[in-house]
Amino acid sequence: MPRLVDHEVRRREITDATRRVIVAGGLDAVTFQTVAAEAELSVRLVQYYFGTKREFLLATHRSVIQDAGARFAQRMSGLPPGAGPREFIRAVLTELLPLDDRRRGEAIVLGAFNTAAIAGRGISAEETLAAPRALVTIVAEQLRRGGSPDSAEPNAELILAAVGGLAQGMLPGHYTAQSAVALVDHLLDLILGAPGN
């Protein structure tokens, strides 16, 4: 029986391998065999950590959300003390855009889970909707700080819908990183007023 610390490492190896399998071939490519091969572990070991395919799919989804959450926290702690709502929201949003390979992989995995939730293939919408709802709450809170309490909720929903569309549209190349970030800034100008106003 491996030590406790190894458990975490192993689970992480397996969920990371699952992400790579999804990026390469979609959710349908995920089996105990493909994930074990990608992780360079035995099928039996993968089954020891995750009894069912559904279990390691959900663990993979959680790992993406947790990674993004950890990056948000890091970005927040790196903001200057007097940072306003705009800098705060901008920091959150740019972590959601696939601006590097890691975030690109995450966007593909989240897109695949969204599709699976739609088709009802073992993944329910409830399991995938908690994170976007939490983000709406966070962004709305910042908008209230920014002084527009009445429309904070719809503005936050709009911001996250737009960023979702931009993130998915960046994947096949409809937006470049530069044009997506410029559009995020443009939307924040519309909602919060141009910077310096």
93 makes contact with a second copy (CB under 8 A) = no
* Smallest distance, a second copy to C-beta of residue 27, A: 8
Q: Running DSSP on this structure, what letter comes out for residue 52?
A: S
Q: Which tokens go with 127? A: 């399991």
182 makes contact with a second copy (CB under 8 A) = yes
Of residues 35, 117, 143, 152, which one binds a second copy by CB under 8 A?
117
By beta-carbon proximity to a second copy, the closer residue of 8 and 28 is 28
User: CA dihedral defined by 39, 41, 45, 51, rounded to 10 degrees?
Assistant: 30
Backbone conformation region of residue 41, classed left if phi is above 0, alpha if psi is from -120 to 50, else beta: beta
* Smallest distance, a second copy to C-beta of residue 44, A: 27
Q: How far apart are CA 40 and CA 2, in angstroms?
A: 17
* Smallest distance, a second copy to C-beta of residue 32, A: 18
By beta-carbon proximity to a second copy, the closer residue of 36 and 166 is 166
94 makes contact with a second copy (CB under 8 A) = no
125 contacts: CB under 8 Å, gap ≥ 6: 117, 118
* Smallest distance, a second copy to C-beta of residue 144, A: 16
* Smallest distance, a second copy to C-beta of residue 158, A: 6
Size of the site for a second copy (CB under 8 A): 45
By beta-carbon proximity to a second copy, the closer residue of 52 and 124 is 124
Binding mask of the shown chain, residues 140 to 179, with x at each position contacting a second copy by CB under 8 A: -----------x--xx-xx-xxxxxxx-xx-xxxxx---x
Give the residues lining the site for a second copy (CB under 8 A): 23-28, 108, 111-112, 114-115, 117-119, 125, 128-129, 132-133, 151, 154-155, 157-158, 160-166, 168-169, 171-175, 179, 182-183, 186-187, 190-191
